[in-house]
């Protein structure tokens, strides 16, 4: 079960990164595209760390379309993600990554022939039910927040990415190769942002702010890098559906970080931590954990 330990590093790191991303998207960056540009560029600075674990190789030519697809998703999933953080609590946005996971078993079945037990599919529907309920407004009417729709787009893109990664690994591409080249190519994809005059001015105007908060920004990107790398490594070891289910613990870590950090940095990020909100979130997270257990250990239930 070493894959399980490795897979859990991802929600721990990504959960903290969600907290810092909320601060970046709500307090430091007025333009979402500018934040996307700097975020993707910074992620490439940590690629040399991969060489300490496993040296990436040149990907086979047949894999390049899939590598570019992952790189494209790594850039453009960020837009709806940052927009969602601007419209809802960090832990709620984090939980909504599970929306796209209902598509993971479907995509995995259609594209790589991965089949799970009926109990595991039931677990996925429980996860989706819990995450959708988290975003319902408390107005006595059935009305979903904007974050729901932003994260639906974001999480579907990430579901496609996860299955594409698995396709690469099943075609003898190592995990480091599969992770290194999409990350590098994603930086190339954002460089044309500089060709748009208005966006170029925005990026230039943020340089001073980036220099002022560079330790904060670098730490956030390091967390994201480690979270993504460990998730990809786990994908290379076990079925994609199992790895994706572990990510559902992420909102629990976000809520924990919110409670711990709120008294020290009350304005760091957006999160409702009144008693009613915490109880609601914990109950729904608990329902989602039941779904996760059904996915991971279907034979025990």
Beta bridge partners of residue 144, listed in sequence order: 136
Q: What is the pLDDT of residue 207?
A: 83
- 286 in Cβ contact with 103 (< 8 Å): no
Distance separating alpha carbons of residues 289 and 285, to the nearest angstrom? 6
Compute the residue count for the chain. Answer: 301
Please choose, from the candidates 158, 128, 96, the residue with its C-alpha nearest in 3D space to the C-alpha of residue 294.
128
CA torsion 248→252→254→257, rounded to 10°? -150
Q: pTM for this structure?
A: 0.79
Q: What is the pLDDT of residue 247?
A: 72
- 85 in Cβ contact with 270 (< 8 Å): yes
End-to-end CA distance of the chain: 19
Please choose, from the candidates 14, 23, 49, the residue with its C-alpha nearest in 3D space to the C-alpha of residue 183.
49
pLDDT tens by residue, the chain, 301 residues: 576 778 788 888 988 888 888 888 888 887 899 999 999 998 889 999 999 989 999 999 999 999 999 999 999 999 999 998 887 777 677 767 766 666 666 666 666 666 667 777 777 778 767 766 765 554 444 456 677 788 888 888 988 898 899 889 888 899 999 999 999 999 999 999 999 998 999 898 888 778 888 888 899 999 999 999 998 998 888 777 677 767 767 777 877 787 777 667 666 655 666 677 777 777 877 787 777 677 666 655 5
Q: What is the pLDDT of residue 163?
A: 84
Q: What is the pLDDT of residue 209?
A: 77
Distance separating alpha carbons of residues 162 and 231, to the nearest angstrom? 9
Q: What is the pLDDT of residue 40?
A: 93
Please choose, from the candidates 19, 25, 52, the residue with its C-alpha nearest in 3D space to the C-alpha of residue 39.
25
- 208 in Cβ contact with 38 (< 8 Å): no
Domain ranges of the chain: 2-300
Residue reference for tokens 């974050």: 147
Tokens of 280: 């609601």
């Amino acid at each position: 079960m070493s894959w399980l330990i490795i897979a859990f590093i991802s929600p721990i790191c990504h959960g903290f990164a969600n907290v810092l991303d909320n601060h970046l998207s709500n307090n430091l960056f007025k333009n979402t595209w500018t934040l996307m540009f700097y975020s993707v560029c910074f992620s490439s600075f940590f690629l040399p760390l991969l060489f300490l674990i496993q040296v990436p190789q040149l990907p086979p030519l047949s894999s390049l379309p899939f590598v570019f697809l992952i790189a494209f998703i790594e850039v453009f999933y960020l837009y709806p993600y940052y927009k969602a953080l601007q419209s809802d609590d960090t832990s709620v946005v984090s939980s909504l990554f599970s929306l796209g996971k209902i598509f993971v078993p479907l995509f995995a079945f259609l594209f790589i022939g991965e089949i799970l037990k009926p109990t595991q599919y039931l677990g996925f529907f429980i996860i989706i039910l819990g995450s959708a309920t988290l975003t319902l407004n408390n107005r006595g009417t059935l009305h979903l927040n904007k974050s729901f729709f932003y994260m639906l787009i974001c999480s579907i893109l990430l579901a496609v990415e996860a299955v594409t990664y698995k396709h690469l690994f099943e075609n003898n591409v190592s995990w480091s190769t599969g992770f290194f080249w999409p990350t590098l190519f994603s930086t190339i994809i954002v460089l044309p942002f500089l060709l748009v005059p208005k966006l170029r001015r925005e990026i230039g105007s943020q340089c001073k702010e980036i220099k002022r908060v560079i330790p904060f920004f670098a730490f956030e990107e390091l967390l994201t890098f480690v979270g993504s790398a460990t998730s990809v490594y786990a994908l290379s070891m076990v079925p994609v559906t199992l790895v994706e289910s572990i990510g559902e613990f992420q909102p629990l870590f976000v809520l924990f970080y919110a409670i711990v950090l709120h008294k020290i940095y009350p304005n760091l990020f957006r999160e409702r931590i009144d008693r009613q909100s915490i109880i609601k979130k914990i109950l729904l997270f608990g329902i989602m954990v039941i779904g996760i257990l059904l996915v991971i250990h279907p034979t025990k239930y």
